[in-house]
Homo-oligomer: A and B are copies of this chain.
Amino acid sequence: MTDELAAPTPAEREPVEPELVESESGRSESGKPQSGKPRMRADAKRNTEQIRRAAIDAFRGRGLAVPLEDVAKAAGVSKATVFNRFGGRIGLIEAVIEELVAAELYAIVDHARTIANAGERIAYYLAAIRELQYRQPAVNDVLLQMYPESQQLMAICHVAGEFNAELIAAGHASGELRAEFRTDDLEALVHDSALALKYGTRPPVADYDRRTTFLLDGIRRPRE
């Protein structure tokens, strides 16, 4: 599977999308023999994985806009090799975004869905998503759709967006969420956090968490 997910070789670079689609189809169809000879040299395979790991580390600490030169250096290869193996930044993002962002984000969504009480579900989700945003700059790049050419990035946003709507509906149905607080308000709230973290100074964690509390209290339905 790693072979198919690796960036196309230089010869295949132009039809990047068709190649990936083709690989996906091939993987989806059972019965395809995996015993064929490897399509990538050992050094290329090794480099690809090193670049992938270096990208995950770099993106994790500094977000998706890290200079590719830095990723290459951390992987011990030249920048041109990053282009050769992954086609560029988008290809690199596509290769790591599942492990880097989607896994954790979807885990939060999945866990939230197990919480029966709507008010608690919203409180859990908002706190968890904000904590993830605080800790993971790449998450903010995703939520802000900084690289819309990345299909996987956009798919993650789509999932998060749908869950926002789900949360709001449940909160209103249960009466625990103030009536005027809408899906786009929740989206703006998360989006503004992303912008503040991306372009501002990250505050001490205690301050940040305290402010999550204020936000939550501002969207609860007042008790009569």
Residues in A lying within 8 Å of B, measured CB to CB: 178, 180-181, 184-185, 188-189, 191-193, 195-196, 198-200, 203, 207, 210-211, 213-219, 222
Q: Min CB distance, A12 to chain B, in Å?
A: 37
Option from B180, B195, B213 in Cβ contact (under 8 Å) with A199: B195
**Copies of this protein, total:** 2
Which interface residue of A191, A207, A217 has the most chain B CB atoms within 10 A? Answer: A217
Which interface residue of A200, A207, A213 has the most chain B CB atoms within 10 A? Answer: A200
B211 close to A188 (CB less than 8 A): yes
A196 close to B185 (CB less than 8 A): no
Option from B185, B195, B222 in Cβ contact (under 8 Å) with A195: B195
B207 close to A188 (CB less than 8 A): yes
Within the assembled complex, what's the spacing in Å between the Cα atoms of A203 and B139?
A: 22
Option from B193, B199, B207, B215 in Cβ contact (under 8 Å) with A218: B215
Residue of B nearest to A180 (CB): B210
Option from B188, B211, B216, B217 in Cβ contact (under 8 Å) with A185: B211
A214 close to B207 (CB less than 8 A): no
Q: Tell me which residues across on chain B come within 8 A of A195, comparing CB atoms.
A: 192, 195-196, 199-200
A-B contact pairs, 28 of them (CB 8 A): A180-B213, A181-B214, A184-B203, A184-B207, A185-B207, A185-B210, A185-B211, A185-B214, A188-B203, A188-B207, A189-B211, A191-B196, A192-B192, A192-B193, A192-B195, A192-B196, A192-B200, A195-B195, A195-B199, A195-B200, A214-B215, A214-B219, A215-B215, A216-B218, A217-B218, A217-B222, A218-B218, A218-B219
Q: Min CB distance, A140 to chain B, in Å?
A: 11
Q: Tell me which residues across on chain B come within 8 A of A215, comparing CB atoms.
A: 214-215, 218
Residue of B nearest to A216 (CB): B218
